[in-house]
Chain A
Amino acid sequence: MAIPLSWYLIVAAALFCIGFYGVLARRNAVAILMGVELMLNAVNINFLAFWRYVRPEEPLGQVFAIFVLAVAAAEAAVGLALIISIYRTRKTINIDNIDLLRG
């Protein structure tokens, strides 16, 4: 028996919200970045589910998911590099303590 489209979408939406919660509530830069990765994965479930159920003859959804993966990889590389460099100078990656700039 086939799984209805809405199941996939609801799982994706829930996952997106978990990631979104992580981004908003966590103060640790690595944890925030992990939240963003969850959000991107949720979107990828959306893309593949829509591809399969709405327009399977054209692999656009899959192509999109591949590009999201590439972007996520580049983003993680740059973000983690930034986090390492911050940690070296400040010994913390808690964004509440990174506060030289305030106004």
Chain B
Amino acid sequence: MNASEIIRWLSPELILLITGFVVLGADLVMRRRDEGRTAAVIALIGLVLALIMALLLAMNNPATIVASTFAVDPYSSFFKVLAIIAVSLVVLSSMDFMKGKSRYLGEYYALLVFVTLAVSIAVSATNLLLVYLGIEFLSITSYILTGFLRNDRRSEEAAIKYFLYGASAGAVMLYGISLVYGATGSTDLVAVGELMKAATGPEHLLGVAAIVLLLGGFGFKASLVPFHQWAPDTYDGAPTPVTAFLATASKAAGFAVAGRVFITAFPQFTPDWMAILGSLAILTMTVGNLTALKQHSVKRMLAYSSIAQAGYIVLGLAAYNPTGGTFTGLNGMLIYLFAYLFTNIGAFFVVLAVERYAGSSEFSTFKGLGKRAPGLALLMTVFMLSLAGIPPTGGFLGKFYVFAAVVEKHFLVLAAIAAVNAIVAAFYYMNVIRLMFFQDSEDETPLQVSSGLNLSLVVSAVMVLAIGILAQPFIAWAVESVQMVNTRGF
């Protein structure tokens, strides 16, 4: 493989890397005179270029390993596209939101570009070494972004909690990696998969222990239940655009890495990790939904709801079917994550618009939104329906594929618990719609929404509906994207 080929395979990452530095440089030149607008525009251009390159690469159905550790395959391309779209929307909405809130807006946009790079590396890693580095890079950048509002004590509190949990989770995951290395002498995922094939008795238990420890790290990113304590406070206190990122792209990275590592490196442990993930799914859904019911602010309710959603998403892996078929579980997870991306980003952005106006996101601020901002209320309705999984939204398609995989595997208890949870969840999503349209507020002044935020809201809503109504192209893409490279790095 020569240099120009390597550059071509790595083009999305290289573009992101260069963009990050250009943003930092441009901010230096502008000396913060324009409140970060130049930086944001450059970041957006870079993200769009990277998106185009990632899509072009994905179209060739590549299956290559670059530089021994980095996979270019449909699976990684899917998550790269997802992350780049998410961060682009976050940048769009930040242009207005962050104005006047920080002196370091150039750094803010540069970090957003770098965090995209972190996700795209983590989802492409075929070596536990790069998996670890990618996840830690993603985490450290996220801590900084979470604590970015220096004049807001809630933001730094969110960051310190996120940091303390994240650092410990990273160390636990690392211990798991060291056990894998000790048992096989390798950290290449495919090599580990081959060397662990004959594991029986105590060796098998060692493998299971390693899986549990690894899950400490992945579950932390994906906010699965025993590792979720940071999530509500962090989602609540972080700058809302950053919350939208954490709840979508960052979470998707956790699932993507877990999927690749478990499927490639532990194929003969499939029943074990499926059982573990299945029980985590039950815990996550139940705890998330029951706590979401008790919340008083929409942002915090969405925080718990996004924990509950992680429970549905992990069902896809818990019902993984390696032999193929229509519902392999994995494709359900991808569809779910893609629909969930637009839904959740949209919902958090509506909160952002209300918050900007009312100063908080208490339930009372949503009262009468149907009169004060009919457009916004309508969009929020679309997002709530999608979160509840009601057709014709994208959320329905995702839930359908995941639940179908569970039923096809005959995990009937799991399916029943998931269904009950979905009904409970529908209750609090509908409550928001009820507040917006059937409750009056004293305040009747119309709400203004900035153009950048408006654009990202409309894009999200259109995509949520498109995924639900057009369905077929998205399903086809997700089915294509479950392919991972399965050759050794070196």
Contacts and interface: CB of A to CB of B under 8 A. Distances in A.
Direct contact of A and B (CB under 8 A): yes
Interface of A: 9, 16, 19-20, 23, 29, 32-33, 35-36, 39-40, 42-43, 46-47, 49-50, 54-55, 58, 60-61, 63-64, 67-68, 71, 74-75, 78-79, 82-83, 85-86, 89-90, 95, 98-103
B171 A50 contact: no
B163 A95 contact: no
Q: Chain B interface mostly helix, strand, loop or mixed?
A: helix
Interface stretch (B147-155, B398-406, B409-417): B147-155
Given A55-B185, A78-B144, A103 B232 contact: yes
Nearest to B304: A103
Contact of B182 (A19, A50, A82, A98): A50
Given A36-B168, A67-B132, A82-B147, A74 B140 contact: yes
Contacts of B182: 9, 46, 49-50, 54
Nearest to B234: A101
Contact of A79 (B163, B171, B179, B300): B163
Nearest to B296: A103
Given A54-B185, A64-B187, A103-B300, A86 B156 contact: yes
Nearest to B180: A50
Given A23-B168, A54-B181, 16 more contacts: A32-B164, A39-B172, A40-B174, A43-B174, A46-B175, A49-B182, A64-B178, A67-B129, A67-B133, A68-B174, A71-B133, A75-B140, A82-B147, A85-B156, A95-B160, A100-B237
The 8 closest A-B pairs by CB, nearest first: A55-B185, A39-B171, A46-B178, A50-B182, A101-B233, A36-B167, A54-B185, A43-B174
Contact of A82 (B129, B156, B185, B295): B156
Nearest to A33: B167
A47 B156 contact: no
B143 A82 contact: yes
Interface residues of B, number: 43
Nearest to B136: A71
Nearest to A48: B178
Given A63-B129, A64-B187, A19 B171 contact: yes
A103 B177 CA distance: 35
Contact of A86 (B160, B232, B237): B160
B96 interface: no
Nearest to B233: A101
7 contacts: A46-B175, A46-B182, A60-B181, A89-B156, A95-B161, A101-B157, A101-B237
A82 to B, nearest CB: 5
Contacts of B295: 103
B350 interface: no
A98 B140 contact: no
Nearest to B175: A43
A100 B155 CA distance: 10
Contact of B157 (A32, A63, A75, A86): A86
Contacts of B237: 100-101
Interface in B231-247: 232-233, 236-237
B11 to A, nearest CB: 25
Contacts of B233: 101-102
Contact of B136 (A23, A33, A47, A75): A75
A55 B187 CA distance: 12
Nearest to A77: B140
A101 B160 contact: no
